[in-house]
Amino acid sequence: MVLEAVMLYVKEGMEEQYEEAFREASKIISSMKGYMSHELQRCMEIKGKYLLLVQWETLEDHTIGFRQSNEYQDWKKQLHHFYDPFPTVEHFEMVKLL
């Protein structure tokens, strides 16, 4: 399992529109091969700041399967105009402790 983590900064005054657009766009990402789950968290201290966490089966499911798909073009069209600055996407894997 791979965890995609993205800190998002939504343009001031567009938070409600963004959340509604994200609800719609969630249908896109959740239909993709290798998708496991996602959640969007709203920061309590900083207005317009969000944390997106997406679980994928493999890194390639996100970086190739989703990012190089036609569906990603729709995702971009629905969401990317809300961001300032444009977010950096990072991927994490579980550390086995025992």
The predicted model scores a pTM of 0.95
Q: Determine the Cα–Cα distance for residues 3 and 26; give it in Å rounded to an integer.
A: 16
What does each C-alpha distance from 86 to 2, 37, 57, 94 come to in angstroms?
A: 22, 23, 25, 26
Cα 38 to the center of its chain, rounded Å: 8
* pLDDT for residue 3: 98
Residue 28 token pair: 């896109």
* pLDDT for residue 19: 98
Condensed to tens digits (0 to 9), the pLDDT of residues 14-73 reads 999 999 999 999 999 999 999 999 999 999 999 999 999 999 999 999 999 999 999 999
> One-letter amino acid identity for 10?
V
* pLDDT for residue 26: 98
Q: Which domains does the chain have, with CATH numbers?
A: 2-93 (3.30.70.100)
